[in-house]
Amino acid sequence: MSLLKTIDPNPSFEPKHRTAEPDRLIAGSPAFKTWLQDTAKEGRVNTGVFEATPGETHSIKGETFEFTSMV
């Protein structure tokens, strides 16, 4: 079983839209779009495409690792 997942970098479906939680906001007013492509049983994102406008927020990752490719 491979842990590698193939994702579509240009998904054709509508993303989930959200803004930064007030308690995590540092600067600006970033808005986020997320295209989920593979989710864990708990409903948390495993793979997908993420887009954000400029701003700063506190990241809460805990035991989670994140790989990001900037385009």
Provide the domain limits for residue 39.
23-71
Q: What SS3 class is residue 26?
A: strand
Look at the chain and report how many structural domains it folds into.
1
The DSSP secondary structure of 38-62, one letter per residue, reads EE-TTS-EEEEEEEE-SEEE----T
Question: What are the Cα distances from residue 3, in Å, to 31, 51, 71?
Answer: 30, 24, 24
pTM (two decimals): 0.68
Closest CA to 52 of 10, 9, 20: 20
Is residue 52 included in any domain, yes or no? Answer: yes
Residue 46 has pLDDT above 80, yes or no: no
Is residue 9 included in any domain, yes or no? Answer: no
Is residue 36 included in any domain, yes or no? Answer: yes
Is residue 4 included in any domain, yes or no? Answer: no
Task: Work out the average pLDDT over 28-50.
Answer: 82
Is residue 33 included in any domain, yes or no? Answer: yes
Question: What pLDDT band is residue 2 in, cutting at 50, 70 and 90?
Answer: low
